[in-house]
Structure 1
Amino acid sequence: MTRILVPYHLDEHRPGLEVPYEPDLTVTRELGGGDLWERVTPLYADVAEAVAADVRDGGAPLVMSGDCMVSQAIVAGVQRAIGGPPSVVWFDAHGDVQTLETTTSGYLGGIPLRLLAGYRPELLADRLGMAPVPEDRIVLVDGRDLDPPERDYLTASDIRHVFAAELDTAAVPDGPVYLHIDLDVVDGAELPDLLFPTPGGPSADEVGQAMRRVLDTGRVAAVGLGCTWHEGANGHAEQVRAALPF
């Protein structure tokens, strides 16, 4: 498992981002002008190529970053290597299925799963050569903090929504899998300094056990780990490393 670090939160470089594992490769780039989508595209293209190379070599890379948007690059890279979209198992306290039209906060970190499902491909998917992941091949794990538009979308969509304790191997979609973990899926009382802590979630150990059930399928092609805590937060790495099955 090649460990790739992408030390960014959206287009903000966070060189001091704490991550639970020592990276084998760190991907950075001087970001140009334009809007966020233009700025991150070259960075994500580099990440996608690094992921694709590792998958082609038989690896299952672990990509660590400060947000969930890097998932676009990871899935694009897996697609390049396997010739089509992987299934997605998405651990997150939030739905990440907002749109630019429905978000009230304007926070772009709330839309990456919706992007993977085919929303507004001109923003990133077309730039990265990425096909949409069919909704019936996506599982949202936890998603306990949803805005009304997200609830409406998930109710009408073919995305499966389960809690960590309910996730077993039978619930994992067919084919190669992209396994995504936003660490804010862990109960906010247990993991301090998260950007968006949410109470009432599973423990880190419970998340680790559910992840193990996905890994036990033998079909995980890549893993994305969103270390979504404040830069400068310290002391989390050992706690997370003890709970996660890597």
Structure 2
Amino acid sequence: MKTILLTLMVFLSTLHAKDIYATFNVEAQKSANLAFTASGLVKNTSAEIGSSVKKGEVLASLDNADIQALLTRAKTVYKYAKRSYERQLKIKNLIDEGKFDTVAKAYESAKSSLAYQQAMYNKTFLKAPFDGVIFYKDIEVGDAVSGLMLKTVYKIQSATKRKLLITFDEKYANIVKVGDTFEYMVDGDTKTYTGTIRKIYPQANTKNRKITAEVQAKNFMVGLFGTGTIHTK
């Protein structure tokens, strides 16, 4: 009886646990193509290829003297409209309702105008959307850019965080699960690494009949290739 149970356990283990060959490419965990959405002449650039930047850091800016003048004017109009509104608000019950509505309307209009001019001014600065490294630059001082014809001027990727896009045969679609272990080697590196499958794409590639999954990693150069084994549970 013990022999039968042992044989059954071994059979079930073999049935459910399987090592699956997979290949992978290294990609950045985050990446973005950056472009100006405003039009104008490039006034300065502060990031080069290989520059490490922080989220919100200005990478380049446009000549914005005209927009800055409009913003200053909007701030002045808003300041006095707000003062007038606050004065009228104190005596609201003593004045004509129509007069108060006129003042309130002017105040709201000035507030909206200020918000709009501030937004237009902000668009003249190109900022990093997250902490990362610049790996592409196609912009120089004096270049003309157009918000109507978007052109990628910078490309940024996460500094150290990577994802391995692993691919395996579609016949294992019902076997590989999130949480399975992936043991792998990067091409040109003799060290063996281990990761965990965090995501499985819900569609097979119709060209090569492969399924893609993701494994988190760090510090590898983007674009590297490797092979490994998925240890299913």
Shorter-chain-normalised TM-score: which range?
A: under 0.3
Q: Which has the higher contact order (CA 8 A, sep 6+)?
A: 2
Q: TM-score, normalised by structure 2?
A: 0.17
| Structure exhibiting the larger radius of gyration computed from Cα positions | 2
